[in-house]
Structure 1
């Protein structure tokens, strides 16, 4: 069967419709809305795994890329300088946009693909699948852990550290469990509207308020102060690589984008939805990073809302909490959904509300919550956690597999190679090697940063992690 024919067959399953006599003759049972290569027969008495609209996809994609890492972007500018900071964002975004484009192409060519783990199977068989399964789950759960940590920071800031931080971490984990247990991305996308609007509003408030201040909140509040703004800074190799890893963490969402494509009503609309969300994300990354660093210089706070001062930091965090909660929801949901789909795939329980269906689903969401909670409690320094996640897993699961999959689909075994094919192959190899380099180098930089952070944070600590309460 040709690739085009498979694409056409896949598109035929998009429209949700009633079952007619002709459908029954083709093998559809009563109550079946459609057949999906991943989810099987989607029934009227089960979740609609193919209900994500184009607009819903744009919102959930944008929310997946804007929420956590962007809060550390001004710190990256401080490390590398204003001009290199913009360049790093643009270069990384070009790579990530290509990787996310390849997600859509892979899904159309291989309708049975649900996630990057299936890409691993097609590239390297069972070993590739299992290897990427571990990396994918760690990446998703680590991001969920960083979201829990960010929510605890927000709660500390809003309440001026009204109680032990460990309590806020536990509260964030409970909120995450309730949100991630929503069954389909179609339903999650409605909440993502609230999350996207809240985080974008908070970021815009930051960008407006910080320039209006007499001086940054972290600067000496009396007497002269030196911004020490640098167009080009001279970071150590470790600092530079750690900064790049933070940018990667902010933008590397390809593993989650697979699940978005899998649940879209019209997967052929994936690319245009992705490009819109990439444009929005890139604009905000550059805007927030450059403006906050330009006006704060060496006194940039991490996370970024701290640069707005205590009052506006509390306001910004209050507005941003729904957005942070939705970041936790999306990535934890995708991790739980992978385990759920893999456990029940090929059975009636995947798309039908049976007892086994519900027990498995809540076991998956509960397990992801517990692991994310442990991670957020064990690594209590937000910027370090962001950098470590981006270094260890960002490129490894978002970029490297996409380069190899392009080569498998377009170059290996292709006897009609043109100059465009060769150029595409060169780019795919470059993307793959860049991902390997950033994984190794970024991990080194992040570990050095973690060691240098010393005793700034303790596991399961009650100490304020928002900088709202002066320490003795």
Structure 2
């Protein structure tokens, strides 16, 4: 027994020493975040909240729930805009780069254990104000994503009930359900909801694919247009001549948005039992989303053709569409909840991590009240914006262009450069010149591509979204009972 205790003490000492070395490495290579040198999720209170409790597969489930939801429903229409071949290439291209950029985030987190959010990472890269700007951008992005899920829930209920109640009522109900599900303070609790979300989105997509495969809307459209019933008339390998630049790039933006789960990755890693297991969770996510995106986009577009709707669930016949929407309810709620949880967690950690009493880990009424208050205000803000902004969907496109492009691709490229280069006087130099190889040269080019992609997606996506607002104007009135 004494030998076992001695071995355990030795293991604890070794673990603490390794953590200290990682922290020292982080502080040597970049400025720290206001003196924070440890992961804020690490428990320092006896019998406190255990945030670092997820296994890799639980983290993978949460990541799938956060990423694969609304995005997949717009991909068939995006493919109908750009054509099947370019659409498939774009799905695989952005999927591959999203996989690599996620891996870089995991490496950056291991080198900087104190980083808990994109805001923390921004402070490591750009100092105090850089952290504030990027943190605010991350939180604003989540508010719009939360609002999007509230609005989608209202559309879902209107479809199922045939507008059985005012849209405002459905949006308030969606907000209330989301708030209740956000109340647990640990992501491990959400991992159980995420399993239901995973089954839900697979079920909804399967129902839609089977339904359009049986009804063949593309063939029906071809018959009505005098095409003799050949469904291929409305299934194009390449974009049609009348597709405008704005339409094409908005379709590309929808594909990018489908992979935009990266802003939450730092938070997910912080709540893993072993942060080094993150690549397993990332592989689970990327294999799941790339395969589902490709299959759903091609199959639904092939059978629905140019008449494919967005969300794709509406491509099925009315009765089947109601069934598909009903199956999709868990993923609509849970995906919004995961995003909302990460947004609230950013505020919670930022406000409480410096306290000597480690309030954020306590199981007291005060710590719970702060969490509930922040969650309530965040969901009310998301509901209010979704209700008031008449061009909410286009505003979501603007926030995606401004933020998702950088969170998913650009910042990861900058993370890689910060880990491999250091500033000396007025120029940057390789941190360890002796370890440079041809592989590092390839990675340098890959990360330059990531940054260039973010610049292009940000600037051109912003232009396309603003042009869409000018073209279509307001799509709904504030506090309207119509969908």
Bin for the TM-score computed over the shorter chain: 0.7 to 0.9
Measure, in 2, the Cα distance between the counterparts of 1:309 and 1:387.
28
1:422 aligned to which of 420, 441, 446 = 441
Report if the CA contact (8 A) 2:390-2:474 is conserved.
Answer: no
1:366 aligns with 2:376: yes
Measure, in 1, the Cα distance between the counterparts of 2:150 and 2:221.
28
**What residue number does 2:333 align with?**
325
Report if the CA contact (8 A) 1:218-1:301 is conserved.
Answer: no
Matches within 5 A, 1:95-134: 95-134=97-136
Measure, in 2, the Cα distance between the counterparts of 1:316 and 1:424.
43
Measure, in 1, the Cα distance between the counterparts of 2:234 and 2:470.
26
**What residue number does 1:139 align with?**
141
Measure, in 2, the Cα distance between the counterparts of 1:105 and 1:363.
34
Measure, in 1, the Cα distance between the counterparts of 2:412 and 2:274.
22
Measure, in 1, the Cα distance between the counterparts of 2:74 and 2:16.
40
Measure, in 2, the Cα distance between the counterparts of 1:85 and 1:382.
26
1:257 aligns with 2:294: no
1:231 aligns with 2:241: no
**What residue number does 2:28 align with?**
none
**What residue number does 2:354 align with?**
346
Report if the CA contact (8 A) 1:243-1:387 is conserved.
Answer: no
1:312 aligns with 2:320: yes
1:210 aligned to which of 206, 209, 212 = 212
Task: Describe the shift of the 1:164–1:216 C-alpha distance in structure 2 as closer, same or farther (beyond 3 A).
Answer: farther
Measure, in 2, the Cα distance between the counterparts of 1:218 and 1:460.
37
**What residue number does 2:464 align with?**
445
**What residue number does 1:163 align with?**
165
Task: Describe the shift of the 1:314–1:95 C-alpha distance in structure 2 as closer, same or farther (beyond 3 A).
Answer: same
1:64 aligns with 2:66: yes
Indicate the SS of the match to 1:314. helix
Shift of 1:209: 1.4
Shift of 1:352: 0.7
**What residue number does 2:249 align with?**
241
State which drifts further: 198-207 or 42-51.
Answer: 42-51
Matches within 5 A, 1:353-432: 353-379=363-389, 384=394, 387-412=397-422, 413-414=430-431, 415-416=433-434, 417-432=436-451
1:297 aligns with 2:297: no
**What residue number does 1:25 align with?**
none
**What residue number does 1:17 align with?**
none
* Aligned-residue RMSD, C-alpha: 2.5
Shift of 1:398: 2.4
Measure, in 2, the Cα distance between the counterparts of 1:221 and 1:143.
39
**What residue number does 1:272 align with?**
280
Report how many aligned residue pairs link the two structures.
439
Task: Describe the shift of the 1:153–1:385 C-alpha distance in structure 2 as closer, same or farther (beyond 3 A).
Answer: farther
**What residue number does 2:293 align with?**
285
Q: Deviations over 1:201-234 (max 9, x none)?
A: 1111111111110436995997857852221114
Q: Deviations over 1:294-342 (max 9, x none)?
A: 1111211111100011111100111110111001100000000000000
Shift of 1:36: 5.8
1:9 aligns with 2:28: no
Measure, in 2, the Cα distance between the counterparts of 1:221 and 1:460.
41
Matches within 5 A, 1:13-92: 37-92=39-94
1:458 aligns with 2:477: yes
Measure, in 2, the Cα distance between the counterparts of 1:6 and 1:381.
52
Shift of 1:383: 5.9
**What residue number does 2:29 align with?**
none
Measure, in 2, the Cα distance between the counterparts of 1:94 and 1:394.
16
Indicate the SS of the match to 2:414. helix
Report if the CA contact (8 A) 1:216-1:308 is conserved.
Answer: no
Task: Describe the shift of the 1:192–1:369 C-alpha distance in structure 2 as closer, same or farther (beyond 3 A).
Answer: same
Task: Describe the shift of the 1:157–1:221 C-alpha distance in structure 2 as closer, same or farther (beyond 3 A).
Answer: farther
Shift of 1:82: 1.0
**What residue number does 1:31 align with?**
none
Shift of 1:397: 2.1
**Unpaired stretches in structure 2, ≥5 consecutive residues:** 1-13, 23-36, 423-429
Shift of 1:11: 11
Report if the CA contact (8 A) 2:391-2:473 is conserved.
Answer: no
Report if the CA contact (8 A) 1:77-1:289 is conserved.
Answer: yes
Indicate the SS of the match to 2:316. helix
Task: Describe the shift of the 1:223–1:128 C-alpha distance in structure 2 as closer, same or farther (beyond 3 A).
Answer: closer
Measure, in 1, the Cα distance between the counterparts of 2:324 and 2:196.
15
Indicate the SS of the match to 2:217. coil
**Structure with the largest fraction of helix:** 2
Q: TM-score, normalised by structure 1?
A: 0.87
